[in-house]
Amino acid sequence: EEFPFSMSANEFELSGPPSDGVSSLAFQGANNYLLASSWDKNARLYDTDANQLKASFTHPAPVLDVCFQNPEAGFSGCLDNAVRFLEFGPEKISQIGTHTAPVKCLVYAKSIGCIVSGSWDKTVKIWDRRGQGPNLLQQPDKVYTMDVHDNKLIVGTAGRHVWIWDIRNLSAPEQRRESSLKFQTRCIRCTTDGSGYVLSSIEGRVAVEFFDPSAEQQARKYAFKCHREKSKTDQQETIYPVNALAFHPVHGTFATGGCDGMVYVWDGKNRKRLCQFHRYPTSIAALAFNDSGSKLAIASSYTFEEGEKDHPADSIFVRMVSEAEVKPK
């Protein structure tokens, strides 16, 4: 079946896209290279300036997350429980270690130079590449999403737990929180200024939170509804999961992507929606800004929220972002 779709003039589709669901996207600043992981068992490296597929790393099972270490290397987390190191030139893939269940998410903690992996085995492991065994952090449930900002590691799990760790002191979490949203957590990203985080759920809602536990700072937190659609005929509302969050590195605004195929940009400080892009062919599975905030990578990839059905091909769009779309008004 054909799915009609017209791109806007300020975006293009990456050539050599994944052949199955896109699970994550990560940008590298120096050269605008993009890593994409997919259920087709590959991690792909793209040069977004030249629109060229540079490398493809084949895994034994679907790849659930990728991140960069530097312009020459990155990491992958896989459904076969392994964390791997990807070297781009010449291409080489090597195993760092394993969990006892699939590796759902990865972050590279620059402040300590370590890759951090979160798994459905209810643990986070911090891997020291210099050869020491990993630090094991027990989590309250399956790890769904993570982010890191300086020395703060934030972990979102099943059961709506949000644990905040200081990576210099791993004896216990700094804070144990519960999500302020009533439904399952999909994504968590730290704000660019490090003051807090944004959390999205499967029920068309986003929460803006602050790390400082003081009553004064906690009074600033709020949540809002998004990625919802009212039927024109009977006013029934369809509520979509918010799969993806990405912060603009310069302006501190953030983009959300949902199963409605929509991308919105929000000004969290002033509680305003800045813009919405056109609808993409299918669910937005992942989002990533480049380091300067001039490009936004958008994975349009069906996430099977309605089970097996005919759906558009998996695509990654790169949008040249205008200041008007991302700068607070």
pLDDT in tens, 254-293: 999 999 999 999 999 999 999 999 999 999 999 999 999 9
Residue 1 pLDDT > 80, yes or no? Answer: no
Instruction: Note the pLDDT tens digit of each residue in 211-221.
Output: 999 999 999 99
Question: In 10 A of CB 150, how many CB atoms?
Answer: 12
Residues shown for the chain: 329
Question: Does residue 123 contact residue 146 with C-beta atoms inside 8 Å?
Answer: no
The SS3 call for residue 267 is: strand
Helix (H) or strand (E) holding 107: strand 103-109
The 10s digit of each residue's pLDDT in 42-52 is 999 999 999 99
The answer to whether the beta carbons of residues 123 and 99 sit under 8 Å apart is: yes
303 within 8 A of 243, measured Cβ to Cβ: yes
Q: Is the pLDDT of residue 223 over 60?
A: yes
Cβ 287 vs Cβ 255: under 8 Å: yes
Single-letter amino acid, residue 179:
S
From its phi and psi, is residue 294 left (phi > 0), alpha (psi between -120 and 50) or beta? alpha
Instruction: Count the alpha carbons within 13 Å of 60 in the hemisphere toward its beta carbon.
Output: 9
Q: How many helices (H) and strands (E) does the chain have?
A: 2, 30
pLDDT in tens, 161-206: 999 999 999 999 999 999 999 999 999 999 999 999 999 999 999 9
At 157-172, the pLDDT tens digits run 999 999 999 999 999 9
Digit-coded pLDDT (tens) for 120-148:
999 999 998 776 779 999 999 999 999 99
Give the position of tokens 């084949």.
Answer: 58
